[in-house]
Structure 1
Amino acid sequence: MAHRIDLTLDCADAPKLAEFWKLALGYIDEPPPAPYRTRQEWLAQFDLPDDDGGGAWLCDPEGRGPRLSLIDVPEPKVVKNRMHIDIRVAGEGTSEERWARITGHAELLTAAGATVLWVTDGHHVTMADPEGNEFDVC
């Protein structure tokens, strides 16, 4: 049996960055695990230090993609990611139609605070989220 994966992204402002990634991925806030009513109630069961920071938890509303946890950390991002997210834009059609969807999504994310790092014409756009984490739209 294959194992499922979750992705965790260290960041400076989890709630703010979560809004960007919900737009980028079409994700929603993940409800707290049963029987907890809130995420804070769920977190209270763990003996976490008071300065543990905040977080945000996102999920694919259709349950297909991996969960994404965003965790506040005190140190800034200083080097290139060793692993990155590829946002695979859905849809069929010609290569021109697919490229139009890719660049359209990249434009939407740029308006939401992402930065285009480089473009590989006809294939993908490499970007950075508002905190500098690299990802591709392909």
Structure 2
Amino acid sequence: MKVIKLGMPIFLILLSCSFLIASINLPKANLGNPNGPLYFPIGLSILMLIFSVVYLFQEWRKLNEHNESIKLLLEGRTPKLIGLTVLYGAIYAFIFEPIGFLFSTVLFLGALLFTVNGRKKVVVNLAVAVGFSFLSWYAFSVLLGVSLP
């Protein structure tokens, strides 16, 4: 797993080297400065090569460090929240067309807000779900004239 992180910077180094070689082999201009068409692609290739080497060194340095953010992501209720959000999104996609924008959005936002905030904030959850859904519907349907299901 750790070595895989080095794959992208190595790929980018090889890609930038191939761009540099291809840029050097571009034909020279017949009018004006003969090397004029070469400056921009060669400059970009060199910049890409420099950034790719810096990226490689950064990833190499991180190999021995522990990634605490991934550990924190997998602790507590975060995995449950991620899973429920994906589930609610899938349900929202299925009910959007049959019951329409306004009702499906109220249900989707209500479910999300109750999952995140809990039952203690019932009034706030319902107000935000209904208010945001209605204002979005009003803005698109009435003000912008966009037809919503």
- Band of TM-score, shorter chain: under 0.3
More helix by share: 2
Between Structure 1 and Structure 2, the one with more strand by share is 1
Structure possessing the higher relative contact order (Cα contacts under 8 Å, 6 or more residues apart) = 1
Q: TM-score, normalised by structure 2?
A: 0.26
Larger Rg: 2
